[in-house]
Amino acid sequence: MNPLTKVKLINELNEREANLGIKESVSWHSEYQDSAWIFVGGFPYELTEGDLICVFSQYGEVVNINLVRDKKTGKSKGFCFICYEDQRSTILAVDNFNGIRIKGRTIRVDHVKDYRPPKDSEDIDDITKHLREEGCAPKIIENPRASSEEDDYVIPLKKHKKDKKEKKKKKKEKKEKKKAEKEKRSQGRSSSSSSPPLVQMSIRVKQEKEDAAYDKYNQRRTPLQSGQDRRMEDRERTWDREGDRRREPDGLRDDRRRETDRDHDRRRDGDRDRDRRRDLDRDYERRRDTDGQQEDRRKETDYERRRETDRRRETDRQREDKRRETNREHDRRRDVDRGHDRR
């Protein structure tokens, strides 16, 4: 497949996802979650590793780069592989750098699912070996103080599930032992102490007088209480509606389901019509471009033909002028010869 068609297909996929509002977990980028490598092709042969790092480090820190070169001449072949520190920066690079022009050439940027590092050979320089082994990322200088502090504050590792299960079992056994001891103590106390006879005490409860002023305050509710009451009423209404729907016969349920299915079908048909219109508009634009190119070619051919006809006319005129001059010279010579004969 032509690389320019691949560039167009990737851009169309990104436009469709942006228009439909698809999530990242469902997009086509999710297939390459485990790879932080991208492929870059179609750039000019003059660019070096440093130039490519300067361009592609806009959306993330570049960790490693593999610019493919010719083994004999050492010149670049126009494509390379780049590795980012964060995998999410590959999505930004593919979405933003695919289809751009660098020094008049359109480049193609795409994901790489299974990157295989090249095999080392004897002709490789020390610089390329160093790049392939350690990468091109900046080295972090570690402070001795920070390392000592990190050793002090070591994060404990997660214990195995078996250890957790054993701890839970021990806790349960301890709880059961405590319960058994409490039961034994309560039984011993009940047996030793004789319970005295219970005496029923008559208790009077004082009744408070009702105040009529409380009714006023109860009638005057706060706006929060009124809002809560409204919400409760709305919920009760919705519950009543759901109960009515459940009690409805099967015929009405089927009708409603059919109506919902029809609405879904209409929406799908509308989306399909929109996609068809977009495709038709794109085809129309492509035809316009092709027609314009054909017209330009025709104009160029007509212009070249006119030039050729003009050149031919000029050559014919020059030939006629030369013939006339030669005829005039012959006439002059004849006249001169006749004059000499008369003398």
Concatenated DSSP letters of 78-111: EEEEEEESSTHHHHHHHHHHTT-EETTEE-EEEE
Alpha helices in the chain (DSSP H): 3-20, 49-56, 88-97, 126-134, 144-152, 161-192, 213-219, 223-247, 250-342
130 has pLDDT over 90:
no
Identify the weakest region by mean pLDDT among 46-55, 84-93, 143-152, 320-329: 143-152
CB 90 within 8 A of CB 27: no
Distance from the Cα of residue 35 to its chain's centroid: 14
CB 137 within 8 A of CB 61: yes
Q: Which of 8-12, 74-78, 171-175, 288-292 has the highest mean pLDDT?
A: 74-78
Question: Please, which pLDDT band fits residue 218 given cuts at 50, 70 and 90?
Answer: low
Say whether pLDDT at 69 is over 70: yes
Average pLDDT value for residue range 291-295 = 84
Q: What is the DSSP letter of 47?
A: -
293-297: long-range pairs with CB below 8 Å, 24+: none
Return the number of other C-beta atoms located less than 10 Å from residue 109's C-beta. Answer: 23
More confident of the two residues 204 and 82: 82
**Residues 38 and 110: beta-carbon distance below 8 Å:** yes
pLDDT at 89 over 80: yes
Looking at the whole model, is its pTM more than 0.85? Answer: no
Residue 151 predicted with pLDDT over 60: no
Asked whether the predicted pLDDT for residue 236 surpasses 70, the reply is: yes
**Rounded average pLDDT over 307-334:** 89
Worst-scoring range by mean pLDDT, 67-76, 106-115, 116-125, 250-259?
Answer: 116-125
Could you tell me the pLDDT band of residue 298, with boundaries at 50, 70 and 90?
A: confident
